[in-house]
Amino acid sequence: MNRTKRANKRSELISRSINFYNMKKIAPIPLIPHSKITQLVEQNNGFNFGVCELNIYETRKEVIDFPLSFSGFTITSMLRGRKQVRFSDLINREYLPGNTIITPSYSELKVDFPKASFEDPTQCTALTIDNSFIKKKIQEFNEALGDKVFVKSWRILDRPILMYNNEDLVNIHKKITRLSSSNDPFKEIHIKLLLKELVLCVLKMQNVRILKENAETNTNNTPFAAILNFIRQNIHNEIQIEDLLKISSMSKSSFYRAFVAELGVSPYQLIINERLKISKRLLLEEKLSVKETAYAVGFSSANYFIRLFKKYEGMTPKQYIQL
């Protein structure tokens, strides 16, 4: 690999590490048999359940600028291969296994398949959900939560957003895809129940993503922004939950409830994720050793840092550096 290619590879890894958030991959689904392949670009296998439609798409040739939109709110997840996707802002985004995009109705995406081939196809799922079902569930969630701390009113954004999977999304997705091809006479009932869980899960993921984006420009004007910026400014120190309680001016019970109910993560997870995100930059850009990096981002032990890094990233820090 020449110097330019190595630089591009590292640039891509750094970009991914900046947005890293508890990334989990969804297991690929068996591919369409060769004898049943009728088209090379986005051949799909679909299942319709009235309130939603699940399509599994496979592409077996290189394509640039493929237009894509859906008739309803859609959750699309990468299972195999690599794509690049552009929203209305025309920014190229890597779309890889471990990524999910949520997109509103008729929002057009442009997709590149730079390395798809007959032998090595891309594969993704697209779960399109009836808009009236989405609106009803969001209304239920808003009523159930009552007074909210971080996000005053839950809603579907009017633009697509790329996110990194969490464990809840992966588990729900697995159940829905398994039921879709089963002969269970109650599968439509089961899927409707799972859809409610899935919508709640992606809304919480969306909340975290939007709050983190807002915190970049509005440093301390919301409780979450103040908490996040305190963590980042003190990343090299031991951070106590009591410190975050003071910053947020919240009681302990309200603090934990807001994190779990509105964001789907604990304060501890937020601290860990920020430490790991910054550690990846230090490993690649600053070329610190694993031990130096562990202490620089506030871990008291290099071994503990290595264990957490492997748990969340699926590899050790040394393996990550060698990519």
Enumerate the domain spans of the chain: 24-203, 218-321
Residue 313 has pLDDT above 90, yes or no: no
Q: What is the pLDDT of residues 208-242, one digit of tens each?
A: 988 998 888 776 678 899 999 999 999 999 999 99
Q: What is the mean pLDDT of residues 133-144?
A: 94
276 or 7: which leads in pLDDT = 276
What is 61-79 written as a DSSP string?
A: S-EEEEEE--SSEEEEEEE
Please give the residue that has the higher pLDDT: either 143 or 148. 143
Among 204, 13, 202, which residue's Cα sits nearest to residue 96? Answer: 13
- Give me the phi and psi of 308, to 5 degrees please: -65, -40
CATH code for 218-321? 1.10.10.60
Please, how many CA atoms are within 13 Å of residue 267, restricted to the half-sphere of its CB?
Answer: 22
pLDDT at 13 over 60: no
Q: Which of 57-61, 165-169, 189-193, 291-295 has the lowest mean pLDDT?
A: 165-169
- Where do runs of H (alpha helix) occur along 185-261? 187-217, 223-233, 241-248, 252-258
Average pLDDT of the residues in 34-63: 95
CA 7, CA 1: separation in Å to the nearest integer? 10
23 confidence band (pLDDT: 50, 70, 90): low
- Average pLDDT of the chain, as a whole number: 89
Percent of the chain with pLDDT over 90: 75
The tens digit of pLDDT for each residue in 265-305 reads 999 999 998 999 999 999 999 999 999 999 999 998 999 99
Which pLDDT band, with edges at 50, 70 and 90, does 152 fall under? confident
> Once rounded to an integer, what is the mean pLDDT over residues 117-143?
95
The whole-number pLDDT of residue 15 equals 42
| Closest by CA position to 158, among listed 111, 103, 115 | 103
Express as a percent the part of the chain with pLDDT over 70: 92
At residue 219, the pLDDT reads 66
**85 pLDDT more than 80:** yes
Same fold? 24-203, 218-321: no
pLDDT at 40 over 80: yes
pLDDT confidence tier of residue 107, bands split at 50, 70 and 90: very high
pLDDT of residue 217: 78
Instruction: Find the mean pLDDT for residues 105-117.
Output: 95
Mean per-residue pLDDT, 171-181: 94
Checking if the pLDDT of 101 tops 60, the result is yes
Nearest CA to 227 out of 217, 237, 238, 241 is that of 241
CATH of 24-203, one of 3.90.45.10, 3.40.50.1820, 2.60.120.810, 1.10.40.50: 2.60.120.810
